[in-house]
Amino acid sequence: MTTASTREGSGAMFDGIARRYDLLNRVISLGIDQSWRRQTVAALNLRPGARVLDLATGTADLAIMVAKTEPEARVVGLDPSSGMLDVGREKIARGGLSDRVELVNGDAELSEPRGGIMGPFARFHIHTVVPTLGALLSGQREYHYLQRSIAAFPPAEEFTARIAAAGLVPVETRPLTFGVCHLYVAEAPSKA
């Protein structure tokens, strides 16, 4: 449970649900999260020796999938929750991937569904279903914060511009499941 000493949005806020997170994620996303990960790995077009950063890795499912797909890839998964990272480290160790997947503490956010015919339904899901179902299933209030955090994330076009401003070359920005999630693919500029 979130306490007065636990800052909203901090990793500690999600530590209490870390052991149940994978199940909660499957239920709340209706299992679509697994498809998102497969699409993300396919879009990476990984080459041998690739280096990949997985922002908001949670319990490291995407980082693990990347490492299993490209046996020479090195992956860094970043998340603000130590509890989630602990669960991820256990999964990485069980998979024999500790030498290629590193997990570190840090912050990132998801995106707010905008536009399109299904946008209102996706927003209803994020703003109403996710926090309510998440709180019921976990007994915690973290999913109420998650909804507010997602709403504060910049629109896809603005975030893509920020990627370019950071010195990367945007390759693709693809909305997934009516914009509930976005796939951002960028590359380091080529050294000519």
74 domain-assigned: yes
DSSP strands (E only) in the chain: 51-55, 74-79, 101-105, 169-176, 181-187
Strand duo 181-187 + 101-105: pairing: unpaired
Q: Tell me what the mean pLDDT of segment 18-32 comes to.
A: 83
51 domain-assigned: yes
Q: Tell me what the mean pLDDT of segment 119-135 comes to.
A: 54
Whole-prediction pTM: 0.67
Q: pLDDT tens digit string along 145-187?
A: 556 666 677 888 999 999 999 999 999 999 887 777 788 888 8
Q: pLDDT tens digit string along 65-101?
A: 999 999 999 999 999 889 999 999 999 999 999 999 9
129 domain-assigned: yes
191 domain-assigned: no
Please report the pLDDT score of residue 146 as a whole number. 59
In terms of residue numbers, what domain contains 180? 12-185
4 domain-assigned: no
Query: E strand or H helix at 52, and its extent?
Result: strand 51-55
Q: How many domains does the chain have?
A: 1
Task: Kindly report the CATH number assigned to the domain that includes residue 147.
Answer: 3.40.50.150
3 domain-assigned: no
Average pLDDT, the chain: 79
Please report the pLDDT score of residue 126 as a whole number. 56
